[in-house]
Amino acid sequence: MSVTVAKSAGFCFGVNRAVEMVEKAAADGKWVATLGPIIHNHHVVGEFEKLGVRVLQSPEEAEPGMTVIIRSHGVARNVLDALADKNAEIMDATCPFVKRIHEIVSKAEEDGRMPVIIGTRAHPEVEGIAGWCRDCRIFETPEELEKWSNGGEISKDTPICMVSQTTSTESLWKKCSEIAKKQFTNVKIFDTICRATEFRQGEAARLSSICQAMVVVGDPTSSNTGRLAMICREHCKKVALVDNATELDAAFFDGVADVGITAGASTPAWIIKEVNKTMSEITNVEAVQEENFAELLEQSIKTLNTGDKVIGIVTGIGNTEVQVDLGTKHAGYIPYDEVSNDPSVKAEDILKVGDEIEVFVVRVNDQEGTVQLSKKKLDGMKVWDDMAVWAEEKTTVEGTITEENKGGLVANVKGIRVFIPASQSGIAKGGDMSAMIGQTVGMKITEVNRARRRVIGSIRAVTSEERKASREKIWAEIEVGKKYHGVVKSLTSYGAFVDIGGVDGMVHVSELSWNRIKTPADVVKVGDEIDVFVISFDAEKHKISLGYKTAEMNPWNQFMTNYNVGDVVTAKVVKLMTFGAFAEIIPGVDGLIHISQIADRRIGKPEDVLSEGQEVQVKITDIDAENKRISLSIRALLEESAPADEAEAE
């Protein structure tokens, strides 16, 4: 007779976690109790009782100072409150999959949706889920759900939120989902069947369809084990559900050539071993077969070691950890703080159920078949490898500046701390480096010391490279008249130097303004962004002459556009001469008030009437556009007003 063992036989992740928590608490000398049996297996519960672990039937039995462990099925919200009132220390071993359902129904009710639970009413998991909402409906079969939805008790438009007990069968859930979609116009359906449970049940179905007999090992009170037996009976005529090896009957194996073994999620490995050993004895299975079975059963325990890199499939994302199927007996999990180097990243942002990921083995618990994993550590190891390659290949990488210190800046590059010396920050000496904090910048990795975990980067190397490329582009495309947007870098007495993208050009003081200016600072200052154009250039000597003032900025053009002969304007006397006075009409445009036009009487010199800086009303009497000369007159205005004054006097 051949024996085939289901790979999924035995403890699931949630059970492993709960059992491990009880063991650790007892080993730490705590006064330990579990609220209800920690798992549906009286053998395991009996072993814990020998360690002094009590089983409480209700939160009222808890005592102050007692450590009460919540089993993987979870409990209602009011149960946790009652334990807190008893001043008991609560250790919550609720399976992350179940915890997620608590959150779903609680949020649904807040949003005005009625929670509908598909599962066994008396099951502790279902009772716990129902305790996270004030009003819900529980249905064990599709027929119950259909009868309720058609009975007139509830409107078809009522917002519904439907979840499933994690150990429900896939076929039952699908039927209920189809009914809900058909009967309700506003329904949200959350597939909360545990993928580990689905895999276990699927494997049991496949194995039972090819074997002449099936042995299902587990506590008969376990819903999970009972469903496995039910699934096996759908595909195989001979199915035995046994609590332990003593319940095996030799007659059951008469005429059987091949037998399959599966076990519920609450069945420890040692019971499965005993069942196999007894089967070997009563059926005279050869020793080599027993050895092969034992090898298969213990395969994962012998092949996973701390420090290994392994590939797994994400099977669930809980509140505190990510479950990973490693394809072995071990139940793998990644604590949230081991998912990413970036604390702001959420597990669900970068992982989803079904993803294949490579992880680092942090700790192996061979006794219970669990393994703690880390994606963050492996990612960190890979980044160090990448760092060495980036340094060698002079690759530009992105990082976020996180802090300023005495010698420079610190950046985060894929979780690795990179130091950027002040001289390599790209900021001028004495500049404000703190302004860089929070910015994402490009840099070159210049030094990597993995042993000392030291990495040095340079922003300046990137900017220098970019400026070099920009300079080459400018010199390749430069031509007279071409316009550039630049930044004023420095000022001298004779002009301003402007960076037009890696190349500096000079704007002579005469090209800065159409007006009279004393220094370039009268027009621009360092840091100003201005538009300039090329007047001339020498590619060999790398010299560029730039212009800033344009025809549009020419005051004479502005004057000709806005003023005409006969206009009366306010002008400012800027210079007195023996023959008259020059007055500024607009900045950069002056007109001459001849001495004969200053007053309506004869005067000896202009300063007898006018002074520099004085504002006067003048009339434009002539415009010589060719020679850019303007004639102004105060006398004309005085003479025009005289007849009016005489008329008023009469």
Tokens linked to 106: 């609680």
Residues present in the chain in total? 650
* 394 membership: H or E segment, kind and range: none
Q: Compute the CA torsion angle 280, 283, 287, 292 (nearest 10 deg).
A: -60
Q: How far apart are CA 617 and CA 638, in angstroms?
A: 10
Q: How far apart are CA 425 and CA 444, in angstroms?
A: 11
**Residues linked to residue 325 through DSSP beta bridges, in sequence order:** 313, 331
Question: Could you give the C-alpha distances from 185 to 141, 149, 157, in angstroms and in order?
Answer: 21, 12, 5
* C-alpha dihedral sign at 503, 506, 512, 518: positive
* 110 membership: H or E segment, kind and range: helix 96-110
Q: Is 82 helix (H, G, I), strand (E, B) or coil?
A: helix
Active-site residue 125, yes or no? yes
Amino acid identity for residue 24 in this structure: K
Alpha helices in 151-222 (DSSP H): 170-183, 195-210
- The single-letter DSSP state of residue 435 is G
Residue 247 CA, distance from chain mean position: 54
Q: How far apart are CA 156 and CA 154, in angstroms?
A: 7
- Please name the residue that has the structure tokens 């491990």: 20
* 380 membership: H or E segment, kind and range: helix 375-393
Single out the catalytic residue among 23, 125, 140, 198: 125
**Residues linked to residue 536 through DSSP beta bridges, in sequence order:** 545
- The single-letter DSSP state of residue 326 is -
Phi, psi of 173 (to 5 degrees): -65, -40
Q: How far apart are CA 3 and CA 630, in angstroms?
A: 115
Question: Could you give the C-alpha distances from 649 to 599, 600, 631, 638, 641, in angstroms and in order?
Answer: 22, 19, 32, 16, 13
Output the 3-class SS for 515-538: CCCCCHHHCCCCCCEEEEEEEEEE
Active site residues: 125
